[in-house]
Structure 1
């Protein structure tokens, strides 16, 4: 099967959009991606739309109602926080199959307010039986396991927020663009120890889109701004000998990235930048190790070293990450890919990673059982 390329990318400013529908958000991001590629909606063969809270509303079709009903095949996918990455993955497979030459993948979400998650739909409620099913508690527990095993400190977890909020000041599409010193992070409201409010990603609305094309079409349209998709992996949770309600974010990420590295013929040493799923500050440190950016137990020392900051050895979440950019669930996976595309093109402005040629986008979603998507992208040529 031939390679696939991204030739168009678009993202709207994340934040609250109370007067707009998710279909309007999806339409804006899609038009930005189409304009970026120099294409029209009539050029698109198929559309894959990722959303979680809005997925039952036929996002792809209702978006087309706003920008042009062309008869393109429309598929709507829901996969928790991995919904957007799933849409991109399906676009890649659709193009690789040979059935389509030009496919649009879009992620869009209008997040509800308040704490995500809640009791399971079936069986006894996990609260009080298995700890907590709420996302902050799950990632707090995972962080504490790491701290107990390797001596990671709350200050090292908090430094993730300091770093990502600084990066966010350089990103005009981020919901929050303000410096946040360590003392403010530690002094903010405690949500689930050791996670304070500023160590939790904010719920926002947003949308992002990419245009995926075949190698033949990419060459026809020009490779000067094209980005090659070297690896694309999507997996679910492997079995773990523990309660499914004591979620482990590590094994599913390691499974996905292993497949993506194998497909790309690359390893973590080849990466120039990473956009990973920092839904909580603890998660970023865990994923340093899960993605192979450092050895197990070394994540705290990696954040202390400054290597994951802009200008460091392996910059992570220079978009501001979910902690500053915000986390519109179904859009996040596409947004992470758009960020990598902008850097590989040299179009990321003040936050540009110099000389970036290869980047990795990671996203993790869970609802009892996890889904994880990883994409490895390379500057064309």
Structure 2
């Protein structure tokens, strides 16, 4: 890791199947390589020694922050604000210390809550009883015990796995731990490598391997084919969507619908857009969605520019002047992020 840092880089973070395939095609088949994934831990910071993340869930579409046991008993990351049942666990020393309605397995007591809650509410509910927490699953035997006792096997249940991250703290959007199920992290889930041959991600302990360093370019977000220009990154959509979808899509990738601040920026966009298509921009009600002032405009010199109440705006084909349009109409769109500046929610 320090050798990468000496180069101004970091151990590689693999954030998509495309990046995984790129690495696989460029690595020597018979060698293992370190990657930059952090230890996988439970909410109390203890390292996971067992997981059951299903091989079909290679995309951590919600950043690997909150996990549920879904209907087929695999562990799946999901939106932390979703409503699910949950399982509380309390570790007990040997003795009849479980409550009358608790279930016991080994040295722990379990409560299966059938009131659906968000992840944070479930966590607080469990922790309202001293020593109790969202369940930490440490073995295949414990997994099987829970599977056999879930009151409703058609529903998801929150578990206490949280924040599977890379070394810089960023959440996983993709994994290649292997399948069909990841069973045991035989070396404590502390350090991970790309194994020879399959290039699955396996944990390991204190061995010497080759390694891959990575350095992020200024425009290296979650979207492919971003374009850098004058301190901003731009993404040009392939599909048509309504204004609100376009706005949400950009924000989900930590960008905003484009704010155009000069003739030079307008000219740059003109050279990158299909002049047969419309494109949503981040202008709404004569103000930019990111809060910047309107210091430049490209409204046409005719009255039809504001014939839809000036609520949502797009760039019209041919020289791309700005017209207002019904926000429910479908157009392409342009996302923008100023490098080094946070996007605006």
Question: Which gives a bigger RCO, structure 1 or 2 (Cα 8 Å, sep 6+)?
Answer: 1
TM-score with structure 2 length normalisation?
0.22
TM-score with structure 1 length normalisation?
0.21
Whichever structure has more helix as a proportion of its residues is 1
Whichever structure has more strand as a proportion of its residues is 2
Q: Which has the larger radius of gyration?
A: 2
